[in-house]
């Protein structure tokens, strides 16, 4: 993901809170009224949490690995919660990710797979890029024989505005190495879909 250009200093907390007050006024309300007076500070604190992925190096999350002790079949972690924000409308993206890999020399603790998903999800995203970033980072750091990532998510940008479609889910997948080739591809996608 591109970094800010030189000279594009990160705004201060005061700048961010002022921006929230501007949006409250633009929406037609008064930032100083009871109920809204603390909202700018609360929004900035929420943003620190929601976008905490920018402060993380996803590759380092996978830094500690282990010998698989002779295990050479698929490792799969299903139903990892995905909570992200659409970069086009800054609306919520909610769903689950399934991450699988074929170990070569090393494996990682399962919490690391969940943390990897979360680190990329806590950024402004599109689901397609989120899916690819998770898969490619796992491939680059762990160097397994294959990687597959599937994400199924709903997007508030389609549910709460525009066409207003409720219950529509988007599915994206990214396969690398042996998981991009048959017969492994068919096998891993069946397992990731919940039909082993």
Residue 190 scores a pLDDT above 80: yes
Catalytic residues: 86-89, 127, 155, 157
Please tell me whether the overall predicted TM-score, pTM, comes out greater than 0.85 for this model.
Answer: yes
User: In degrees rounded to 5, what are phi and psi of residue 115?
Assistant: -65, -35
Tell me, what DSSP letter sits at residue 107?
B
Closest Cα to residue 58, out of 152, 121, 124, 106? 121
pLDDT in tens, 83-132: 999 999 999 999 999 999 999 989 999 999 999 999 999 999 999 999 99
Q: Is 129 helix (H, G, I), strand (E, B) or coil?
A: helix
Q: Which domains does the chain have, with CATH numbers?
A: 13-50 (1.10.286.10), 58-192 (3.30.1130.10)
Q: What is the mean pLDDT of residues 161-175?
A: 80
Strand partners, 175: 148
Percent of the chain with pLDDT strictly greater than 90: 75
Cβ(145)–Cβ(100) under 8 Å?
Answer: no
Query: Stretch 42-68: mean pLDDT, rounded?
Result: 94
**Which residue has 């961010």 as its token pair?**
16
Cα 48 to Cα 55: distance, rounded to the nearest angstrom: 10
Please choose, from the candidates 51, 56, 64, the residue with its C-alpha nearest in 3D space to the C-alpha of residue 92: 51
User: Is the pLDDT reported for residue 155 higher than 60?
Assistant: yes
């Amino acid at each position: 993901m591109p970094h800010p250009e030189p000279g594009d200093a990160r705004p201060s907390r005061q700048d961010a809170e002022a921006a929230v007050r501007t949006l409250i006024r633009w929406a037609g309300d008064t930032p100083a009224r009871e109920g809204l007076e603390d909202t700018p500070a609360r929004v900035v604190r929420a943003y620190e949490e929601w976008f905490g992925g920018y402060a993380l190096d996803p590759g380092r999350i996978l830094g500690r690995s282990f010998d698989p002790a002779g295990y050479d079949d698929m490792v799969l972690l299903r139903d990892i919660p995905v909570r992200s924000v659409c970069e086009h409308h800054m609306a919520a993206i909610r769903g689950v990710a399934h991450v699988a890999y074929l170990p070569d020399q090393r494996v990682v603790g399962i919490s690391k797979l969940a943390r990897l998903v979360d680190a990329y999800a806590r950024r402004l995203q599109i689901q397609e890029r989120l899916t690819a970033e998770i898969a490619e980072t796992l491939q680059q750091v762990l160097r397994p024989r294959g990687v597959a990532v599937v994400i199924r998510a709903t997007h508030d940008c389609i549910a709460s505005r525009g066409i207003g479609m409720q219950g529509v889910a988007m599915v994206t997948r990214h396969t690398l190495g042996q998981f991009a080739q048959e017969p492994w591809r068919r096998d891993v996608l069946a397992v990731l879909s919940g039909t082993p």
